[in-house]
């Protein structure tokens, strides 16, 4: 009787342990989603819109064409519709791969998905010189976090 009980307990514990190992191996590592908009699109379109879906813990990298040899820049901090869903963690300018004078580079923003929900991120490409600082191009992305 004691042996049968001990064997039953061992089998139950073993199945629970193996089940937990199976669940751990199925866990998805955080992914990186990307949105890229080349400089040609920035110059030719007045409003650029994108959509992306991601999971909690994932990273979103947004890369927009930008030319620092002109007085135009994207806003450093993107406007986030719901800061409980998404958080901006970085912004940087990446120089062009060429030494050609006037070549455009890119501006890169990095975000982390904090919670489930839907939000928007947006920014504008505008001149920091002169009186008219209206953006010549706007970027908006709808972000759904599952």
- pLDDT tops 70 at residue 98: yes
Total length of the chain = 146
How large a percentage of the chain has pLDDT more than 90? Answer: 77
| Residue 65 maps to a domain | yes
Residue 41 in domain: yes
Considering the domain boundaries, does residue 91 fall inside one? yes
> Does 2 fall in a domain?
no
Let me know: does 53 contact 141? Beta carbons within 8 Å. Answer: no
What is the CATH number for 62?
Answer: 2.60.40.2020
Q: Which residues contact 47 (CB under 8 A, 6 or more apart)?
A: 137, 138, 140
Number of domains present in the structure of the chain: 1
Is residue 64 scored above 80 in pLDDT?
yes
**Domain of 70?**
32-145
Tokens (6 digits) for 4? 């049968």
3-state secondary structure of 23: helix
């Amino acid at each position: 009787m004691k042996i049968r009980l001990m064997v039953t307990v061992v089998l139950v514990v073993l199945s629970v342990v193996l089940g937990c190992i199976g669940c751990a191996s199925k866990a998805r590592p955080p992914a990186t989603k990307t949105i890229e908009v080349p400089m040609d699109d920035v110059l030719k379109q007045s409003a650029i819109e994108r959509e992306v879906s991601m999971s909690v813990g994932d990273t979103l990298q947004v890369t927009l064409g930008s030319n620092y040899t002109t007085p135009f820049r994207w806003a450093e901090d993107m406007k986030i519709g719901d800061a409980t869903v998404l958080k901006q963690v970085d912004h940087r300018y990446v120089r062009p791969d060429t030494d050609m004078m006037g070549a455009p580079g890119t501006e890169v923003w990095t975000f982390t998905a904090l919670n489930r929900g839907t939000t928007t991120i947006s920014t504008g490409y505008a001149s920091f010189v002169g009186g008219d600082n209206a953006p010549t191009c706007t970027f908006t992305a709808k972000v759904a976090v599952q």
